[in-house]
Structure 1
Amino acid sequence: MSAMSIFASPRFLPNVMWADAASCAATGALQVAFTGALAGLTGLPAPLLMGTGVFLLAYAAMAAFMASRSTPPRTLIGLVVAGNFGWAVACISLLVSGIFPVTAVGVAWVLAQAVCVVVLAELQWTGLRRSRGGVNMVMA
């Protein structure tokens, strides 16, 4: 299967949404389950880790719902793309601001999230563009 046929697959966008859901569920679960340990390792405040962890778990459920639809909800996925780019900007802003004494592990944790969401947003955007010419996708 060529790279172009992967992008053209009707399952491409749902598969990317499943990947987004899985990565957010894993990150959120780690941040909620190990808030104190991660705060110590990263230099990030425990309330920030807990709050974003809970948000990520809720978001993962929403992304899984979108991925499970027979026709992915284009408008919602468009909002997800914008949100993912926004999350990356927030991650970089957090590091650049210097408000928290972020450790090297913390920098790696935050940068990993930024890179992951940019890659996912780009794949989601590609999926939306590729699906535009095909079946008319509406909210399911």
Structure 2
Amino acid sequence: MLMEPTLGDRPRNFYYLPGNRHQKPALSGFGQLGAKAEATETRQEKIMIVTVSPFIRNALLLDAVASGATALLAIAGAPFLSPLLELPAPLLFWAGVVLVPFVALLVATARRKTVRRMVLIDIIAINALWVAASFGLLFSSLVSPNALGIAFICVQAIAVALFAELQFIGMRRATALAV
């Protein structure tokens, strides 16, 4: 006597309609799902890795040269610049010291052929924070520079904002080409 299987006799992952079954990702190279997953993964890698174009390289190196010059001027010239700008000498000195590792990061990034997109975003964010801190310092009551000191802070902040904008444009161009 043959008995019809009941619901309890069916395997756990049995579904009536084939479209409702759980699909396991196929190994890459086998089947459509594996090819789609591989294509998506490759596309995401392209978006996350940016080729350092000559435009980005020049923007990073220009930023490194300007930041390096500012660091040297602030570290070595703090005692001379302080009375001229009416800014505290320790502020100038430590601002220069903070720039040294940033210059190293810029040079190291500019020398690479490819770089993670997040590194460029970090560099742009550091530049934006520098601009915000520079103008915030002017509007705070922590320092009271003279007109030359105000001009010095504004000019370097605007230059840093320009570097950040150039780096952002270069990153967007590189990302648009990668997609």
1:37-116 correspondence runs (5 A): 37-116=80-159
TM-score, normalised to structure 1's length? 0.86
Question: Aligned residue pairs: how many?
Answer: 128
- Distance in 1, matches of 2:53 and 2:123, equals 19
Greater mean alpha carbon deviation, residues 67-76 or residues 80-89: 67-76
Higher helix share: 1
- Consecutive unaligned residues of structure 2, counting only runs of 5 or more, are 1-51
TM-score, normalised to structure 2's length? 0.68
**Structure 1 vs Structure 2 CA RMSD:** 1.5
* Residue matched to 1:22: 65
Larger radius of gyration: 2
- Consecutive unaligned residues of structure 1, counting only runs of 5 or more, are 1-8
Specify the SS of the correspondent of 1:53. helix
C-alpha deviation, 1:101, in angstroms: 2.0
- Aligned residues: percent identity? 34
- Distance in 1, matches of 2:103 and 2:55, equals 18
C-alpha deviation, 1:14, in angstroms: 1.0
- Distance in 2, matches of 1:16 and 1:76, equals 14
* Alpha carbons of structure 1 residues 29 and 64: separation in structure 2 relative to 1, 3 Å: same
**Aligned residue type for 2:61:** W
Specify the SS of the correspondent of 1:34. helix
C-alpha deviation, 1:135, in angstroms: 4.2
- Distance in 2, matches of 1:11 and 1:112, equals 26
C-alpha deviation, 1:108, in angstroms: 1.1
- Distance in 2, matches of 1:73 and 1:43, equals 41
Show structure 1 runs of 4+ deviating over 2 A: 133-136
